[in-house]
Amino acid sequence: MSLPTTSTATSTTGAPTGAGRRVFERWLFWPLALLLLALAVELGHRAQRIVTGRPYLDARATERVAKLAEENVKIEFARPSTKGAAPGADTELLPHPYVAILSRAHVRTLERAVAAMRDAARTELDVVIVGGVGAQVFAGAARERLIEALPTLPGWQGRKVAFWSFADPYVKEPQQLELVLYLTSLGAVPELVIDVSGRNELLIGSANALADMHPAYPARAQWQPLVFGGATDRASLDLLVTAWSNQREIAAVAARAKAGWIHCSLWAGDAIDRIEHLALERDLVLTSYQRRSEAAQRELVLRGPTPPTTPTQRIATSAGIWFQSTRDLASLCAARGIRFVVAVEPFEEPHHAAKKRSESNGEKAGAGRTVLLQAAKRLTELGTLWIDAAELAEAKQTPREVAAALVDEMVRRLAAE
């Protein structure tokens, strides 16, 4: 029996014939043809862009994709941060059950202060400084002067001064009152409390009211992000999931473009269009979520009583809160044998400069200070030691000079008691 023979599928000249030609067409010709077609389309697309005055440049496309990818990474879906402070940093803001807001550094200071002041064998002269921006400046600029001056007062001679500053730019009454009350409730009783306040009460109080939050509440910009991360109903969470999915897809498309697509004007253009479309959808979804969150906030007990609506009402309400809290703080200190001084801001710079800058915050600083000083005069009737720091600041040029003048006045007034 003879075996079947097979064709070589080649001619005597070596050219493919029959089945061999079909293999050539399938595996070589058509891919080559498609490659040439893609090249022709790419060249045609680039030529068309040149003719229309929009030449395609790899570098420009690379820069655009990189920018879109960078903007995409910056979008956060977690609870809003506090002034960009990294978790664990000293400036990170934390919610506190009594003081409302404390920086991480001040939480540690509070723990040390309680432990130190509860020591029965302690001999240091403990001085607590509370307040906002002015108190923060004072705490730094007046430290050396206080160390020199306070141990000269009767009953304090020769004692070493220990400072406990809880001043921060966002603090205002009744936070100072609550902090000292918290300390004394734990048995931490200082010898002296210095409260430098007034300015934050007016400016933050008015800003709160303008944002539909009562002036008595903590600074809205710091308070709400700490206690309210956003709406959590099913529809709102679906919006966040959509935005998050868009963010991930943008990152994936950008990565593919950077890996090689960027050199093809057609593919790169499609990638950029896709990223821009996803980014627009992401932003629209996040805007919708923000609106739902704002509506949810109005349903929660995060805003306080109905806030005042006119500038005059805002000033009067804010000044009233300062007076009531300061009066109660003075009474608290008196009941525990703590000496108390309140300095009415501004003092960290000449008064005319502070007034000019305060006016840019939306309320007339001059009118606000007038109401505040009228309230302060009522403290005199109650026997509270208060100082108008603006009078001392008029002729001074630097925070250190103003702080020194304020310390001298405090010591003089304390010695006269």
Domain CATH for 175: 3.40.50.1110
Determine the pLDDT at residue 345: 84
Determine the pLDDT at residue 6: 47
Looking at the structure, do residues 46 and 123 belong to the same domain, yes or no?
no
Q: Would 92 be classed as within a structural domain? A: no
- Establish how many alpha carbons lie within 13 A of residue 318's alpha carbon, considering only the half-sphere containing its beta carbon: 35
Of 241, 276, 299, which one is at a domain's C-terminal end?
299
Asked if residue 279 lies in contact with residue 250, where contact means CB atoms within 8 angstroms, the answer is: yes
Q: Using the structure block, give the residue that is written with the tokens 């996040």.
A: 286
Looking at the structure, do residues 124 and 208 belong to the same domain, yes or no?
yes
Range with the lowest mean pLDDT among 60-64, 120-124, 352-356, 378-382?
Answer: 352-356
Q: Would 8 be classed as within a structural domain? A: no
**CA–CA separation, 402 and 224 (whole Å):** 34
Looking at the structure, do residues 103 and 214 belong to the same domain, yes or no?
yes
Residue ranges making up the domain that contains 24: 17-55
Higher-confidence position of 254 and 262? 254
Q: Is the pLDDT of residue 405 over 50?
A: yes
**Length of the chain in residues, anyone?**
417
Nearest to 363 by CA among 298, 321, 317, 323: 317
**CA–CA separation, 196 and 389 (whole Å):** 9
With bands split at pLDDT 50, 70 and 90, how would you rate the model's confidence at 72?
confident
Q: Would 330 be classed as within a structural domain? A: yes
Determine the pLDDT at residue 303: 75
Pseudo-torsion of CA 257, 259, 262, 266, nearest 10°? Answer: -60
Q: Would 190 be classed as within a structural domain? A: yes
| Mean pLDDT, the chain, integer | 79
Range with the lowest mean pLDDT among 28-37, 170-179, 406-415?
Answer: 28-37
Phi, then psi, of 85 in degrees rounded to 5: -70, 130
Question: Residue 14 has what DSSP assignment?
Answer: S
For 301-346, the pLDDT digits (tens) are: 567 888 999 999 999 999 999 999 999 999 999 999 999 999 998 6
Looking at the structure, do residues 269 and 377 belong to the same domain, yes or no?
no
Determine the pLDDT at residue 86: 61
Q: Is the pLDDT of residue 382 over 50?
A: yes
Of 278, 299, 320, which one is at a domain's C-terminal end?
299
Q: Would 10 be classed as within a structural domain? A: no
Structure tokens at 226: 């700490």
Nearest to 73 by CA among 244, 225, 241: 244
Higher-confidence position of 181 and 97? 181
Determine the pLDDT at residue 35: 60
With bands split at pLDDT 50, 70 and 90, how would you rate the model's confidence at 286?
confident
Looking at the structure, do residues 191 and 143 belong to the same domain, yes or no?
yes
Looking at the structure, do residues 263 and 132 belong to the same domain, yes or no?
no
Nearest to 176 by CA among 184, 161, 166: 166
Nearest to 171 by CA among 204, 208, 143, 138: 204
Determine the pLDDT at residue 229: 66
Looking at the structure, do residues 236 and 163 belong to the same domain, yes or no?
no
Phi, then psi, of 344 in degrees rounded to 5: -85, 120
**Which residues, including other chains, have CB under 8 Å from residue 255's CB and lie 6 or more apart?**
none
Q: Would 3 be classed as within a structural domain? A: no
For 180-210, the pLDDT digits (tens) are: 999 999 999 999 999 999 999 999 999 999 9
Q: Could you give the residue ranges of the DSSP H alpha helices within 75-198?
A: 104-117, 133-141, 143-149, 175-185
Asked if residue 155 lies in contact with residue 92, where contact means CB atoms within 8 angstroms, the answer is: no
Determine the pLDDT at residue 194: 97
Looking at the structure, do residues 105 and 123 belong to the same domain, yes or no?
yes
Total structural domains within the chain = 3
Looking at the structure, do residues 320 and 271 belong to the same domain, yes or no?
no
Looking at the structure, do residues 215 and 107 belong to the same domain, yes or no?
yes
Determine the pLDDT at residue 409: 93
Looking at the structure, do residues 254 and 269 belong to the same domain, yes or no?
yes
Looking at the structure, do residues 192 and 130 belong to the same domain, yes or no?
yes
Q: Is the pLDDT of residue 9 over 80?
A: no
Determine the pLDDT at residue 91: 81
With bands split at pLDDT 50, 70 and 90, how would you rate the model's confidence at 13?
low
Determine the pLDDT at residue 173: 96
For 40-68, the pLDDT digits (tens) are: 555 555 555 555 555 444 556 666 667 77
Q: Would 93 be classed as within a structural domain? A: no
Q: Would 193 be classed as within a structural domain? A: yes
In the chain, the N- to C-terminal Cα span, in Å, equals 134
Of 247, 269, 299, which one is at a domain's C-terminal end?
299
- What is the percent of the chain where pLDDT is above 90? 37
The answer to whether the pTM exceeds 0.75 is no
